[in-house]
């Protein structure tokens, strides 16, 4: 079963990459971009029956650094 984990910087944590992307978008002439935050998407192919708790454990122990990052788990039901 495919599961997606989205990892984003916590609000308030400076995101230099997001800032650079923002500047680049402005440089290309895109006005009206208020803010950009960059994150990561990790796709996991998991054995059936893997519990939400186990996935959260994976996030806390490795996939995200919870000092600076939040994570969100999205199960892809039809994948």
Partner 1 sequence: MKSAVIVFPGSNCDRDLAVALELVTGRKPAMVWHKDSELPEGTDFIGVPGGFSYGDYLRSGAMAARSPIMRAVKDAAARGVPVIGICNGFQVLTEAGMLPGALMRNARLSFVCKPVKLRVENSQSLFTSQYEAGETITVPVAHHDGNYQADPETLDRLEAEGRVALRYLEECNGSARDIAGILNNEGNVLGLMPHPERVVEAAHGGTDGRRLFEGLLETVAA
Q: Contact residues for partner 1 (CB under 8 A)?
A: 13-14, 16-17, 20, 61-63, 65, 67-68
Cβ-based nearer residue to partner 1, 16 or 29:
16
CB of 17 to partner 1, least distance (A): 6
Neighbours of 44 (CB within 10 A): 16
- Considering Cα of 49, then 53, then 59, then 61, what sign does the dihedral take? negative
Q: Which is nearer to partner 1, 42 or 46 (CB)?
A: 42
Q: Closer CB to partner 1, residue 27 or residue 49?
A: 27
Shortest spacing between CB 77 and partner 1, in angstroms: 27
- Please state the φ and ψ torsions of residue 57, each to the nearest 5 degrees: -60, -45
Q: Where are the alpha helices (DSSP H) in 1-79?
A: 16-27, 52-58
> Which residues lie below 8 Å from residue 23, measured CB to CB, with a gap of 6+?
none
The nearest distance, CB 38 to partner 1, in angstroms, is: 10
């Amino acid at each position: 079963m495919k599961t997606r984990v989205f990892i984003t910087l916590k609000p308030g944590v400076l995101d230099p990459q997001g800032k650079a992307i923002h500047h680049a978008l402005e440089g290309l002439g895109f006005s009206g971009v208020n803010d950009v935050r960059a994150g990561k998407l990790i796709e996991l192919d998991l054995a059936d029956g893997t519990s939400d708790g186990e996935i959260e454990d994976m996030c806390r122990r490795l996939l995200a650094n919870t000092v600076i990052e939040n994570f969100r788990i999205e199960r892809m039901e039809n994948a």
